[in-house]
Chains A and B, each alone.
Chain A
């Protein structure tokens, strides 16, 4: 099958319900091999549920998915050795040391004794954990724990890494280091699927799917998504930003207004003619001192444009 080589993950109509709640709805996915694919979405958007379905932890209510050419709804025992999964919550053993945790994982993946120790030494060095080798995992900092979790997820050199909000509990510096590691892994040919609610992280992905309440509302490379928002972005610098925001948000032509410090970002659909003049005139007429200019869309603008109020039409290519 050609799809085996082209895509690491393919899903069609993937749906998962918990009682009345539809956590993931009719999701189609094509995740190419050897890239970093991001899931961007707020909490409760279905990111974790999707990742769990893809590694065989949850059975889809409807639809199908193939991961590395294997069906996830059936017996997943052939799939397990090929994927590495990093859970949202730290799931290694807090009462074991770093080395003991890695030894356990290595034994589970059937490394021989000599191969095991060499691989662990390599990981401890790579993930800057040599000083913590004898420390109990439960007593480490968030950043250290996250490095340990990644080290154990890649220990058996999986073809596909599934990372569920890996950076939600670490400081910015650790996040930067973490992403440097992800790029190294990706360059070495590992396919990575990572979920996040950070825009800056989403921007680094090779390709991105935005999820909103279980529905995929955008899918494409971040730059492409930014070019194709279908919105004109106007930045407003005004003397009373909060009041200006309420005023502009009431206009029928305006899709959304977001305040960023003293600045406002106003999204106006592209089909509206001369939006800059429209916004400037409204503010001037109401007595605001305002400076307006058109700017390029950020990923945050994309996010706001596709997710607001559940207006969920496919906007990107």
Chain B
């Protein structure tokens, strides 16, 4: 009973302080909305409007029609025509264009025989652009002169599930929930204990009968509510602005988020017991945030990473959370089908929390 009163006292104190901390309060709402607008609008792996130029040395009816079809794909944004492939190379080098299209003199004849019709000069330094160029290569050119399209020769056909329009936001937003929660939750608790130490409150606290566990749990619980509010904000904005669906159970999404928030808060608390100053705590937080963005499958497909990086990614709670959110929101999967991911999050929480409680010293030496 007494321990419950103490736990509630710590929670109430945290909430009262939070209410008065306008900047933190603004961050709770501002970070999710700002990030989702930024990521939602800025990141687009479905590349369009690549800068391009055409050197049309054939200049025939057929070649002009070919160029106009290229324009219609909207993949290339073709500027003023140039006269030679050398000019295309120069523009590529200077960065004025990402793709150059070279149509040789004998274009009309090439269309008729087995040789390639034209050349694409591509800034292959960016694999994404190269990938788009490869899509262009398979573009069927259904000329009257050649009624059999090459596409019929393919042995595989792609049927895109879950995101047929290939909109990046659909893939980004579920992952973004993880990134935003990692940032805010870890940061809030990473500075929690350190701030009390810096302000001198800790010297008073550790001289009272409040136990370490009560202190830690009391500090964490209010933020679980805040994390869930952030989840509601992100999913709402995702739905309204980017039409990101939640196909599975909303309740299960919140259960997954609860486990993930707890994991990050516990990790933040652990950082808080290691760091000496708030500045250090923030540095460590960002040290963890970066791999959370890069190694979690948020931007780059997990399977494409080297095995070592995959192991690192598996250690991060966000990797498991992104699998859960994408599963629930996009593939209508149930938690039961992904129970091991959820259990891993709970296990992570237990380990981090135990480590934080053990590391926290009730003495000043």
Interface residues of A (CB under 8 A from B): 52, 55-59, 76-77, 80-81, 83, 85, 87, 89-96, 100, 103-105, 107-110, 136
Contacts and interface: CB of A to CB of B under 8 A. Distances in A.
B43 to A, nearest CB: 38
Given A80-B207, A91-B199, A91-B200, 9 more contacts: A57-B363, A58-B364, A59-B363, A85-B207, A91-B201, A100-B16, A104-B12, A107-B9, A110-B209
A107 B8 contact: yes
B209 A105 contact: no
* Chain B, interface SS category: helix
Contacts of A95: 16-17, 20-21
Contacts of A81: 209
B5 A110 contact: yes
Given A57-B364, A58-B364, A108-B9, A92 B16 contact: no
Interface in B166-212: 199-204, 206-210
B197 to A, nearest CB: 11
Contacts, number: 74
Nearest to B2: A110
- Of B8, B209, B210, B362, chain A has the most CB atoms within 10 Å of the CB of B209
A94 to B, nearest CB: 7
Nearest to A105: B208
Contacts of A52: 364
B359 interface: no
Given A58-B365, A96-B13, A109 B201 contact: no
B6 A77 contact: no
6 contacts: A59-B365, A80-B209, A104-B13, A107-B12, A110-B6, A110-B209
Contacts of B20: 95, 136
A238 B204 CA distance: 51
Nearest to A56: B363
Nearest to A82: B209
B362 to A, nearest CB: 8
A25 B141 CA distance: 93
Contacts of A56: 207, 362-363
Nearest to A96: B16
A73 B12 CA distance: 32
Contacts of A96: 13, 16-17
CB-based closest 10 A-B pairs: A107-B9, A91-B204, A110-B2, A91-B200, A89-B200, A85-B207, A108-B208, A57-B364, A104-B13, A95-B20
Given A58-B365, A104-B12, A110-B209, A93 B6 contact: no
A77 B206 CA distance: 10
Contacts of A103: 9
Contacts of B9: 103-104, 107-108
